[in-house]
């Protein structure tokens, strides 16, 4: 890490913006009711310094852990900086966790205190916070938290700003990022100030991020992509960050920010597409786009309605992006760059290049990243200066995460083509074998399934069955439509047609026996998806596997599952 300039480390960047752009708006926070609160760099620096004074006064040992439990907001990012300035280590928690997971992470990390911020379901989460843990609330915290804990503004008002420019070295532990837990108990991934600095330095250069850019922060800051791209992109380049108010206001939040750089997960890109199709049916949209002058007008109108008319760099990741979805956005004039990475490498591994059609791949490795494919297992392995220090208090898991020669085992299967682009073909552990002894890779089939306008999420499963089957979750609009018997029959017919068209392009052993339509919403709250909307396969097995053989032998192409 000695090659990293100290000027790229998080706190040094804060000091730089305090001095060079004190009056520039750094953060825009919606306060409800259409009210916005702007923070300049000078105000950010002042509040961070005052909170750092308070934290430092607690006298905890250097490197003590301090947790942040909140949805994205200005105070989240200021808390992170204050924790670092005081000499401590930040531990972000997803704002949608069950109380037992909150307790597990707070206990495992040995957190000394917790910022309790903007939350939708604090009532069910608060049992996870030990009653004797010191907590600090934000101005937008739930009423109960505001009553129970001293508030941010009160602490800032009575604390003097910490003086000088405290420095954290590149090799010091900066944060524990707990994995979202698709496969079990979350693990605390340790990252240093140096790994963070290298990741954003490399990522910002690849995106061409500059002080003129704007981003909307809405995916959980506890997730590695939002943490690196938004928070550290903000610190590295001085971009203007807007925060989303709520799911209900998301469209207006986007239109207010008009981001120039926008990252989203596949499930949300699919929802955007479905929203467009609801207003402009696919056939009509395709026809309009094919007319030269009218097509240009339609593209502008659709992108403006999405709030993405100023977007110069759109990206997707956290799960594979279906190729037809990428092609649809490219035709709309909004090409999506697909990125690949893990919490363990700060999400900086591969990225498709702007202006090049590399759909179906995640592009070449970033400069400074090495990627190889294990000859025996087909596993993608990589190394870079952004690799984690290890898993917190888990030396055995840390050892297992690396090959003997120091490459990170990603758990993903892939291939590298002659142009150096990486193709991800599935998870090593997601492969399953049918009763015919044939292996099935579910991810490529799921990419095809989710392209139906009524489907929001899906899973292909069927270990030890004669043929695999698909389980799909409908979007809210399709589910409401299905309440009408006539519309339900029409939807079944459309889904059966979709299933047949997919099976025509699959190998015989991959062809799906049926589609099971669940009326249960897969959500973070019922623990079926992660906070970035990745489906937890083990939970799907728990909920539905007892019915697999019955579904397979039913002889129906489309089956409705009304209870989980």
**pLDDT tens per residue across span 341-370:** 999 999 999 999 877 888 889 999 999 999
* pLDDT of 81: 98
* pLDDT of 3: 36
Q: If you average pLDDT over every residue of the chain, what do you get?
A: 91
Which of these ranges, 79-88, 111-120, 275-284, has the smallest mean pLDDT? 275-284
pLDDT tier at 563, thresholds 50, 70, 90 = low
For the segment 424-435, the average pLDDT, to the nearest whole number, is 78
Nearest Cα to 540, choosing from 532, 549, 529?
Answer: 529
pLDDT score of 1 more than 70:
no
pLDDT tier at 179, thresholds 50, 70, 90 = confident
pLDDT tier at 184, thresholds 50, 70, 90 = low
pLDDT score of 466 more than 90:
no
Number of helices (H) and strands (E), helices first, in the chain? Answer: 21, 26
Give 313's strand partners: 261
3-state DSSP call for residue 223? Answer: coil
Decide if 320 contacts 447 (C-beta within 8 A).
Answer: yes
pLDDT score of 437 more than 80:
no
Q: Which residues contact 437 (CB under 8 A, 6 or more apart)?
A: none
* pLDDT of 272: 87
Q: CA 471, 474, 479, 485 torsion: positive or negative? A: negative
For the segment 518-531, the average pLDDT, to the nearest whole number, is 83
* pLDDT of 339: 92
Q: Note the pLDDT tens digit of each residue in 467-496.
A: 999 999 998 888 888 888 888 899 999 999
3-class SS string, 324-338: HHHHHHHHCCCCEEE
CATH code given to domain 6-16+42-210+217-236? 3.40.50.980
* pLDDT of 448: 87
pLDDT score of 456 more than 50:
yes
Tokens 């925060």 -> residue: 243
**CA atoms of 444 and 428, how far apart (whole Å):** 14
Task: Characterize 529-538 residue by residue with b for buried, 16 or more Cβ atoms within 10 angstroms of its Cβ, and e for exposed.
Answer: bbbbbbbbbe
**CA atoms of 456 and 65, how far apart (whole Å):** 38
For 263-427, CATH number out of 1.10.1240.10, 3.30.70.1050, 3.10.129.10, 3.40.50.12780 equals: 3.40.50.12780
**CA atoms of 258 and 261, how far apart (whole Å):** 9
Kindly state the helix (H) or strand (E) to which residue 113 belongs, with its residue range: strand 111-116
* pLDDT of 362: 93
* pLDDT of 324: 85
3-state DSSP call for residue 370? Answer: strand
CA 345 distance to own-chain centroid: 14
Q: Note the pLDDT tens digit of each residue in 241-272.
A: 999 998 888 888 999 999 999 999 887 888 88
Our CA angle for 32, 34, 37, nearest 5°, is 75
Q: Note the pLDDT tens digit of each residue in 369-391.
A: 999 999 988 999 999 999 999 99
pLDDT score of 2 more than 50:
no
Length of the chain: 564
* pLDDT of 147: 94
Intrachain domains 263-427 and 432-561 with the same fold: no
pLDDT tier at 181, thresholds 50, 70, 90 = low
* pLDDT of 271: 85
Q: What is the dihedral of CA 18, 21, 25, 29, to 10 degrees?
A: -20
For the segment 165-188, the average pLDDT, to the nearest whole number, is 85
Which of these ranges, 150-164, 192-206, 522-536, has the smallest mean pLDDT? 522-536
For the segment 388-411, the average pLDDT, to the nearest whole number, is 95
CATH architecture of 432-561: 2-Layer Sandwich (3.30)
3-class SS string, 399-449: HHHECCCCCEEEEEEEEECCCCCEEEEEECCCCEECCCCCEECHHHHHHHH
Q: What is the pTM of this model?
A: 0.83
pLDDT tier at 104, thresholds 50, 70, 90 = very high
Q: Where are the domains of the chain?
A: 6-16+42-210+217-236, 263-427, 432-561
For the segment 118-136, the average pLDDT, to the nearest whole number, is 95
Q: Note the pLDDT tens digit of each residue in 58-83.
A: 999 999 999 999 999 999 999 999 99
For the segment 306-329, the average pLDDT, to the nearest whole number, is 87
pLDDT score of 194 more than 80:
yes
**CA atoms of 30 and 37, how far apart (whole Å):** 6
Nearest Cα to 190, choosing from 206, 205, 173?
Answer: 173
* pLDDT of 41: 98
Q: Which residues contact 446 (CB under 8 A, 6 or more apart)?
A: 320, 458, 459, 460, 470
pLDDT score of 4 more than 50:
no
Q: Note the pLDDT tens digit of each residue in 270-308.
A: 888 888 888 888 889 989 988 989 989 999 999 998 899
């Amino acid at each position: 890490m000695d090659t990293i300039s100290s000027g790229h480390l998080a706190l040094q960047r804060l000091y730089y913006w305090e001095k060079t752009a004190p009056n520039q708006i750094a953060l825009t926070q919606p306060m409800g009711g259409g009210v916005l609160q702007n923070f300049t760099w000078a105000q950010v620096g002042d509040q961070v310094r005052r909170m750092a004074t308070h934290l430092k006064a607690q006298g905890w040992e250097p490197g003590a852990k301090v947790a942040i439990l909140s949805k994205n907001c200005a105070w989240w990012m200021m808390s992170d900086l204050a924790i670092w300035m005081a000499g401590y280590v930040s531990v972000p928690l997803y704002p949608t966790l069950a109380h037992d997971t909150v307790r597990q992470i707070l206990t495992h990390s040995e957190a000394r205190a917790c910022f309790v911020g903007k939350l939708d379901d604090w009532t069910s989460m608060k049992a996870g916070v030990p009653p004797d843990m010191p907590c600090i609330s934000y101005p937008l915290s739930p009423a109960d938290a505001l009553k129970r804990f001293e508030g941010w503004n009160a602490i800032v008002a009575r604390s003097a700003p910490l003086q000088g420019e405290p420095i954290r070295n590149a090799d010091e532990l900066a944060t524990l990022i707990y994995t979202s837990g698709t496969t079990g108990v979350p693990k605390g991934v340790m990252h240093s100030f140096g790994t963070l600095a290298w990741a954003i330095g490399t990522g910002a250069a690849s995106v061409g991020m500059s002080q003129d850019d704007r981003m909307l922060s809405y995916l959980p800051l506890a997730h590695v992509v939002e943490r690196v791209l938004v928070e550290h992109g903000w610190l590295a380049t001085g971009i203007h960050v807007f925060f989303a108010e709520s799911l209900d206001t998301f469209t207006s939040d986007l239109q207010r920010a008009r981001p120039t750089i926008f990252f989203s997960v596949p499930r949300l890109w699919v929802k955007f597409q479905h929203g467009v199709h609801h207003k402009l049916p696919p056939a009509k949209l395709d026809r309009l786009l094919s007319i030269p002058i009218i097509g240009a007008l339609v593209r502008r109108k659709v992108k403006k309605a999405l709030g993405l008319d100023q977007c110069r760099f759109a990206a997707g990741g956290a799960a594979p992006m279906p190729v037809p979805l990428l092609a649809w956005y490219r035709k709309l004039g909004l090409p999506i760059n697909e990125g690949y990475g893990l919490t363990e490498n700060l999400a900086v591994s591969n990225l498709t290049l702007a202006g090049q059609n590399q759909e179906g791949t995640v592009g070449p490795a970033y400069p400074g990243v090495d990627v190889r494919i294990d000859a025996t297992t087909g596993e993608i392995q990589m190394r870079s200066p952004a690799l984690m220090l290890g898993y917190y208090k888990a030396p055995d898991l840390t050892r297992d995460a690396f090959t003997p020669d120091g490459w990170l085992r990603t758990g993903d299967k892939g291939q590298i083509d002659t142009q150096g682009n990486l193709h991800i073909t599935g998870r090593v552990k997601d492969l399953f074998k049918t009763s015919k002894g044939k292996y099935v890779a579910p991810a490529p089939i799921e990419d095809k399934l989710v392209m139906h306008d009524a489907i929001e999420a899906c899973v292909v499963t069927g270990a030890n069955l004669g043929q695999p089957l698909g389980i799909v979750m409908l979007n809210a609009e399709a589910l409401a439509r299905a309440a009408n018997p006539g519309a339900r029959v029409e939807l079944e017919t459309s889904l059966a047609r979709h299933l047949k068209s997919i099976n025509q392009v699959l190998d015989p052993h991959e062809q799906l026996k049926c589609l099971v339509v669940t009326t249960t919403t897969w959500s973070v709250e019922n623990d079926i998806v992660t906070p970035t909307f990745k489906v937890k396969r083990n939970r799907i097995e728990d909920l539905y596997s007892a019915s697999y053989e019955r579904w397979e032998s039913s002889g129906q192409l489309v089956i409705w599952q009304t209870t989980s």
